[in-house]
Chains A and B, each alone.
Chain A
């Protein structure tokens, strides 16, 4: 094909190739540099431990779950009955906050959400990829504590991911619990088949 073209064409092509080569090597250098420069926890692709984004409302699990001993499932009521634990609707917050700390600026934000019928947009912290099916009810009903996967939430002023939530981490637990069931667990048989989570 090249033979049929003129010299002019070939020259142009060489110039274009040279440009492309420079661009590619530049890109590789930059990417490599960035990869070396970023902090260690980001090098493992997909590892989100330490992720603690700012939330639209400064909600403290410490105040609620520890200081006031509110049960996790009071707010995350789906955990026992379905795959999703759920984020409480603003109305659930107002069950108490219509009386408690009404004047706090953060609580006012919730009250405003209810009043304007505009839902609060929380930033998701604990997440698994879309090709993973995780079912809360299967774990909660077996007696797995929330903290096993979510860390000591009751000590956190702002929610933070403390566990990897990677496949190796999941499977490690499934194997360990089956092999040596911790106190309170009998007949665990936690499956490590692919089909348990991937479908």
Chain B
């Protein structure tokens, strides 16, 4: 255990160097000064006089307001009371269960559905933010033909003619439906039915970031191209080769729930019963990912080294298990191109695996079939298949096949495709060679896009037939075999749009709405697969109520893995890793909030800071400090990344923990036709996806990593990233506490104990007759995924401020996640610490407010009274935790459509007013009113804050500290519990549970 004074936490490299602190602050002041308007004194006086007069006149009479009741009020609706509908999240193909909060007829929030089997109440930042796209004024509002607005009748007529020709010309004209992964059984059936009306037709599935190799490896070994279900909760040892399973890989919310369950260190040794133990997590990756930042051991390896490392592990594990399998022999015979530095990671990882056969899990994100085969081999050797690798409930996500898409582009180029229908994907932006796609698209005589908003693809298609937003339409999903969920509309379509399935049904000549089709399909195909309910009407009602169904499946029919087959497959696919040279490599990855870039026009998601770099509104080229030193690259300097066939210009970010020979760039940025918000934000990294024809033919998809010919610094001024962290430094005090699992089991729960110290107190103790609201945040569970940040934004009408204002440190997030590094800059350890207002008992903000706009109430809250606030900002200056946010502008937009998403239970703040986390007081008050109405007290767990509700890791507990039996009160006295800056005696109501790393005491 290191002494906290010795263990130094740092937030950025500038902080580590500790030389630029003063200059950084100076530059901040300069930025603020520069941002002030240049108006002379006289103009100000003139304006003052005028506004005084206007104010006095306006103040005499309030404006006339209208009340417009319904003509016929729906029976289920009480004005001002929300209705909740069970539906499905549409943020990505993981299709987590969601509850839509509908207030007076408009959905304002998507929250996780606690009854859902996979996501179990969690919902990620992307999923929650997706509701903003419903109210995006940039959405396509009517069908368009040739770029001009048209009517559905005319568009239908013209397309019907085209399709009729394709039907009649006996197989000469091909009709292709190009979609992202469609998991809904009814939606799939609609596409099948539609295509069946043509003599020559095909459904091509396209995922911009494909998982081909994972499927192909399973096909080669088990005969079925599948993605298995993973059980991180059953794994005591987790080895991830680059897979960011807590951030973006496959089903991050489901995996985070599972992962967090396995990270519970169990009761402290002082208590009688012992828990099952805490999992150990190894991450071997090139970029510092969200998942890697949570690992107990993290090793930086280049993408090209993955196969060699995995092969080395196979050899060691096989040897350790005493199995002389042909595979291990084959591996051992190979000359693994690994240096001496690989020895320690391999030995440690293999040791851990050998201690947990059948209780471990190896995953990899590579699109290299060899890598996936080796990961599969390891899981099989250890007996994990059937335990932590569930072949019986394979994931049905990511069905895209890169080879099919590449072939389609060729066919299009040859003029073989007569009609192309594009839905749920944006190849003109995401296709690695977008130019080739667009050229091929020009050869298609009739192309139709169904995108909700205009994008790069709709700009190049003949027809734009905008689909409904998923919250306006019916739909279904089956993200895992036998696990179904339903989309139900929560608002009437805002514009003249039509569901994609309805369009296909109409063009198939079927006179049925998609709702009826869906219901019939479910009655015929899915209802009979369950036994609990015997009549369909009840079944359907239950589906609408729960939104989710699981049916039992027959046991998997996959045959056990044959080692000989495996060895042959590995050998066939080439030497593991190929050459390991000193060459540079570039890697691209899906960004946490924007994912593949389809959400780029969503300002709330643009302003979610990257959990590691804390950069908003941009992507960057992350390079290691060592590489920066070697090449003389400064933070923000523009780089030219040269790869075969092109180059990319992007500003550099020096990222501790990055592999020294790699550069990582996030996807999802650099859109050109996303809309006013997303256009030109960041740099498009899709051209870096490499697509060697041989690997596509071999069943692999586009490679996310490739060799780089050069990284050349470009002369010129550095780019200023809008980062939220540099100015949120806690100035070196031990505000995050941690220990090792070993020390914890010996009774050492955390580092410092300040609460026992005697403090002189200026304040009188507050009396809390009934409630004192408090929060416990478990740093051991928190992964830093930022779902809480978005939840808080949308629940509390927190505005976005844009890149320039973030640069001036004026972001408005009520809940920020501080990220601290410790250790050396090449291999840092990371801690994430969510920091809402600490709701101090001895609150320093309250004592300095000259107008009593922030006061203490009888339930332990520091109340911020907006109508009293005059904006002195004394409170923010005096806050020890820097949790207060000031409205420098009227931040709420004048966009009336977007404002439909505002929560009517929370005041919209205007310019000149301070604001901060309120512990979701609107929820507290609603629960209290409900309880008083029923003549009882608020029960434990009845009030959930927005951040707590959405947390996929269940890291936040909230409740009444006066009730000593409440979950929050029990956890607040845990041996791991501490409060930030306890020595200041502010007595915060937010407790943190110290982080525990499952690693040896001494070794790093």
Contact = CB atoms under 8 A, between A and B. Distances in A.
B49 A193 contact: no
Contact of B905 (A42, A53, A89, A133): A133
Contact of A195 (B42, B46, B906, B925): B925
Interface in B877-934: 905-908, 918, 921-922, 925, 929, 932-933
A199 B906 contact: yes
Given A28-B49, A83-B81, A121 B66 contact: yes
A100 interface: no
Contacts of B564: none
Interface in A1-55: 17, 20, 23-24, 27-28, 30-31, 34-35, 38, 42, 45-46, 48, 53
Contact of B929 (A38, A91, A137): A137
Contacts of B65: 123-124, 127
Interface stretch (B51-59, B188-196, B382-390): B51-59
A158 to B, nearest CB: 15
B907 A131 contact: yes
Contacts of B859: 193, 195
Interface in B78-124: 78-81
Interface in B364-393: none
Contacts of A24: 45-46, 49
A180 interface: no
Interface in B707-754: none
Interface in B14-73: 42, 45-46, 49-50, 52-53, 56-57, 59-62, 64-73
A28 B45 CA distance: 13
Contacts of B59: 45-46
Given A17-B42, A117-B71, A194 B857 contact: yes
Contact of A127 (B56, B62, B858, B918): B62
Given A78-B80, A82-B81, A84-B79, A45 B67 contact: no
Contacts of A181: none
Contacts of B261: none
A138 B933 CA distance: 7
A34 B69 contact: no
Contacts of B921: 195, 199
Contacts of B855: 194
B865 interface: yes
Contacts of B906: 199
Contacts of A42: 60-61
A193 B80 CA distance: 23
Interface string A65-109: 000000000000110011110111111100000000000000000
B852 to A, nearest CB: 9
Contact of B72 (A30, A86, A90, A131): A90
Nearest to A42: B60
Contacts of A147: none
A160 interface: no
B1000 to A, nearest CB: 48
Given A91-B73, A195-B925, A130 B60 contact: no
A27 B55 CA distance: 12
Interface in B631-681: none
Given A35-B56, A195-B859, A20 B46 contact: yes
Given A129-B867, A199-B906, A31 B57 contact: yes
A166 interface: no
B861 interface: yes
Given A113-B71, A131-B867, A38 B42 contact: no
A172 interface: no
A120 B69 CA distance: 7
Contact of B67 (A30, A87, A118): A87
Contacts of A142: 932
B318 interface: no
A124 B865 CA distance: 26
B81 A193 contact: no
A187 to B, nearest CB: 10
Nearest to A140: B933
Contacts of A30: 53
Contacts of A169: none
A98 to B, nearest CB: 13
B79 A86 contact: yes
B275 to A, nearest CB: 38
Chain A: interface residue count, which band?
35 or more
A55 to B, nearest CB: 10
B69 A119 contact: yes
B929 A193 contact: no
Interface residues of B, number: 48
Given A78-B79, A130-B908, A199-B922, A89 B73 contact: yes
A193 B905 CA distance: 18
A174 to B, nearest CB: 13
A199 B49 contact: no
A27 B53 contact: yes
**Which residue, of B70, B865, B868, has the highest number of chain A Cβ atoms within 10 A?**
B70
A124 B66 contact: yes
B866 interface: yes
A92 B64 CA distance: 25
A102 B875 CA distance: 62
B69 A88 contact: yes
Nearest to B921: A199
A114 interface: yes
A83 B79 CA distance: 8
B914 to A, nearest CB: 13
Nearest to B924: A195
**Which residue, of B866, B907, B908, has the highest number of chain A Cβ atoms within 10 A?**
B907
A130 B69 contact: no
B412 interface: no
B772 to A, nearest CB: 13
Contacts of A138: 929, 932-933
A34 B45 CA distance: 22
B71 A122 contact: no
Interface in B687-718: none
Interface string B839-868: 000000000000000010111010101111
Contacts of A124: 64-67
A138 B863 CA distance: 21
Given A91-B71, A199-B921, A82 B78 contact: yes
Nearest to B858: A193
A92 B72 CA distance: 8
Contacts of A127: 62, 65
B69 A87 contact: yes
A129 B865 CA distance: 13
B104 to A, nearest CB: 9
Nearest to B908: A130
B865 A135 contact: no
A82 B72 CA distance: 19
Contacts of A28: 49, 53
A122 B72 contact: no
A113 to B, nearest CB: 6
Given A35-B56, A48-B62, A89-B73, A195 B857 contact: yes
Given A194-B865, A195-B925, A198-B867, A81 B81 contact: yes
B866 A34 contact: no
A122 B518 CA distance: 42
Given A122-B69, A195-B859, 5 more contacts: A27-B52, A83-B80, A84-B79, A120-B69, A131-B867
30 contacts: A17-B42, A27-B49, A27-B52, A27-B53, A31-B56, A35-B56, A42-B60, A46-B59, A48-B62, A78-B79, A78-B81, A82-B79, A83-B81, A89-B69, A90-B69, A90-B71, A91-B73, A117-B71, A120-B68, A122-B67, A122-B69, A127-B65, A129-B867, A130-B908, A131-B866, A195-B857, A195-B859, A195-B863, A198-B863, A198-B867
Interface of A: 17, 20, 23-24, 27-28, 30-31, 34-35, 38, 42, 45-46, 48, 53, 77-78, 81-84, 86-92, 113-114, 117-124, 127, 129-131, 133, 135, 137-138, 141-142, 191, 193-196, 198-199
